[in-house]
Amino acid sequence: MFKVFENLYLIENEMGANVYLINNGKSFDLIDTAMFMETDKLIAKIEDGGFHIENLNKIILTHCHCDHIGGAAELVKRTGAKVAAHTKDIPYILHEKVIDGSYHYMMIQEQAYMKQYNCVLEKVDIVLSDKNIIDTLGGLEVIHVPGHTPGSIALYQSENQIMFFGDVIRNKHNKGLVIGVPDKFNYDTNQTIQDAQHLMEYPIKYAVFGHGLPLTENVERLLITARTPEEVKASRKKSKAHRKLAKAE
């Protein structure tokens, strides 16, 4: 468990997305829950960090993909925690619908796995919309960013200028800051790029991501270096060509 800011901790996982724990004193909240295969490991990490799992108050889901929501059902069963998600992703979280677009067939497959392992949520207790304020970490503003999924959200803590990007931007250890994910994982890639540009208009001192380590220094300077997956691919191809030419010479 890695401390990002006062009362905010990152829990990294071998599989799936990052999980963030917010310490509220007598209780705590989670942002995302990683993959369903890792729930026992997640609970162990929480307990090892000095928190008691029965004190979990609520779970905030940034979007409907299984690497973010997979552990939620088991956590709810064990703790009775409330679940919050954006209204437009709730049908996919509850497996009432399958997302349109390039992710359609992958979602069919992941929903089948989640059903097989009995880790489908029965309900979402807190229905979120753009500009809602969630009562945790001094107030988190919900920002609707519908490119990755129809109901994806980012979260912003204005007093300390903390931005939770979800999957709008990832911090890849071998690629740097990447806007979104490859097309096959997005609902609308062009919208995801617009989402990233919108979020980067906020004053940001701490940038935290669904995938990759947080940024806590020189954040705004680093964020402007973020590239799309296509730009990363083109840059690598160009570098490879340069190395090949240099070797030939």
CATH T-level assignment (fold) for domain 2-248: Metallo-beta-lactamase; Chain A (3.60.15)
Higher-scoring residue by pLDDT: 184, 85: 85
- pLDDT score recorded for residue 236: 54
- pLDDT score recorded for residue 241: 45
Work out the pLDDT band at 200, boundaries 50, 70, 90: very high
Work out the pLDDT band at 228, boundaries 50, 70, 90: confident
Q: With pLDDT > 90 as the criterion, what percentage of the chain qualifies? A: 82
Work out the pLDDT band at 237, boundaries 50, 70, 90: low
- Two tokens, residue 129: 């919309």
- pLDDT score recorded for residue 173: 79
The DSSP line for 57-124 is EEEE-S-S-HHHHTTHHHHHHHH--EEEEETTTHHHHTTSS---STTHHHHHHHHHHHHHTT---S--
Which tens digits make up the pLDDT trace of 3-36? 999 999 999 887 789 999 999 999 999 999 999 9
CA gap 240, 246 in Å, rounded: 10
- pLDDT score recorded for residue 230: 79
- pLDDT score recorded for residue 174: 75
The ranges assigned to domains in the chain are 2-248
pTM of the model: 0.92
CA gap 26, 181 in Å, rounded: 37
Which tens digits make up the pLDDT trace of 100-128? 988 999 999 999 999 999 999 999 999 99
When pLDDT is averaged across residues 230-246 and rounded to a whole number, the result is 58
**pLDDT at 245 > cutoff 60:** no
- pLDDT score recorded for residue 239: 52
